[in-house]
Structure formats: C-alpha cells, structure tokens
Amino acid sequence: MLYACYGRPGGPIVTPEKFMALAGPDFRAKGVLPYCPSCDEAVDPYGVHSPQVTSRFDHQNINELQAPWDDCLEANRSDRYKGMHADGWDYSRGDALRRQFFERDNICQAYAFCLTLCRKGNLSVSEFKALTRIADHKKIWAYQDIPLWIIPYILLTLGNFGSGPQSRFPFHFVLSKSQSKGLSQIWQPNQKCYLKKVFSASGDLVKTSDNPLVISHPQLEETAGDYEWVSSGPVGAMLGGI
Ligand SMILES: [Zn+2]
C-alpha cells in the first residue's frame, strides 16, 4: 500500500518516508500509528530505510475467518482484489463524486449497466443498494481522480451474484489488468483492461458475447442502453431513495 493516514483513521495522507520523518522510529511507543485510508486498520511501515525494496505500508495477516470478498482493496492479500489499490486519495473530491453518483440519472444508468451484465433476476434493487454500501465502506469514491463512469464497473467487482433460489450458478466479476499497478490503470486511455464475469466455483469465464467486457466510457453507455425505463418506473423511485 502506497499511502496511509497519519496518526488516526482519516488523518493526513502520508508516504512511508513522510510517516517515519514525522513520527520518528519510536512511533509505536508514542502511540502514533499509520492507518489504512480504506479500512481504517492500523498498518505497518515497511522498507523505509532499505534501498533494495520499495517502501510501503502493510496490513496485518488476513483473518482466516474473513471471506476474500470482504477483504480491504488496499491489503493485496486476496487474489480477488489484487491490483485494486488506490494510487492516491482525495476525500473531499470523493464526497462530491459520491453525491454526483446518487443523482437520479447517474444511479439509474449504473443500475441498468449492472443489471444487463448480471442478467434479469440476478440483481434486485436491494442487492444493488448493498453494493453501494460496500463502496462506501471501502471508500472507493475517494480514489484520486476516479471518474464517475468507472463506478458501475467497480460496483460489480464488490459482490457475489446468482446464489438466489432461481439461479444455479453463482458468479462474480473480476478485473483483467496488471496486478502490480493500482486501480487507476483501468481508466487510463488505451490500457485494454476488461471486466470478466466468472463462475465462482471454478473461476472459469462465463461464455457470453459481452464477456469479457472492455472497460471504457462508451462501453458503459452502450451496455446500459436506454435506461429511461429505470428512471421513469418504480425501480427509479426505489433507487432515488438511497
Ligand atoms: Zn485496509
């Protein structure tokens, strides 16, 4: 993890070098710790004075009882979320972006996009709302420079689908990108990153014409299509209540 919050959850964003310079080598004795900007856990600075390694902050080892889809995106501990860490943080921009996302037009387009890829019957409004709450918990809105159009792609990676009584095949979505780069890779132009729908049991690709799906703003608009039926109907009214 590249950055942490200094001294308290939500504190100023610092690099490992900045943290050590401010807190000093006896930071633990002083009770001054770095905290993860996403999950708020205390983390450890690593490699600040070692020229042969890139300095970073490390999470504690994963709790064996924790499911991989509950893991922090910053922790890089589970294959599910490798390469989804932030390349920087901007909380005040994140607040504004979140408000923009919940505007009626934007959230209805996001729901239409996610429903098209999950297929009818696999994404109720309440399940979609749950995805936005996970996004809140992981603070993805505050990723530096994250564009509005990328949010629906991210939401799909945060859930498990198809486990209802009418579905026989649980599935989820993963990103196809360089795992060593941060999440911002997927919204840079000409990166050729994809969203893959896979069977949860095997990890195999679900074979449909739109899978894997290229990650781009035009693709979001094409997949969401005309979402007037969402915004003008009862689903729109329910989404407006988020
Ligand atoms: Zn974390």
**What confidence category does residue 236 fall into, taking pLDDT thresholds of 50, 70 and 90?**
confident
- What distance in angstroms lies between residue 85's CA and the mean position of ligand 1's atoms? 9
How far the first Cα of the chain sits from its last, in Å, is 31
Q: What is the mean pLDDT of residues 188-199?
A: 93
| Nearest residue to 226 (alpha-carbon basis) of 123, 112, 125, 149 | 112
Give me the pLDDT at residue 219, please. Answer: 97
Angle made by CA atoms 97, 197, 149, in degrees to the nearest 5: 20
- d(C-alpha 107, C-alpha 76), whole Å: 29
**Torsion over CA: 135, 136, 140, 146 (sign):** positive
Q: pLDDT digit string (tens) for 212-229?
A: 999 999 999 999 999 988
Q: pLDDT digit string (tens) for 113-142?
A: 999 999 988 999 999 999 999 999 999 999
- What distance in angstroms lies between residue 19's CA and the mean position of ligand 1's atoms? 17
Task: Evaluate if residue 241 carries a pLDDT over 70.
Answer: no
Strands 44-46 and 56-58: antiparallel
- What distance in angstroms lies between residue 145's CA and the mean position of ligand 1's atoms? 19
- What distance in angstroms lies between residue 40's CA and the mean position of ligand 1's atoms? 6
Task: Evaluate if residue 63 carries a pLDDT over 90.
Answer: no
Task: Evaluate if residue 34 carries a pLDDT over 70.
Answer: yes
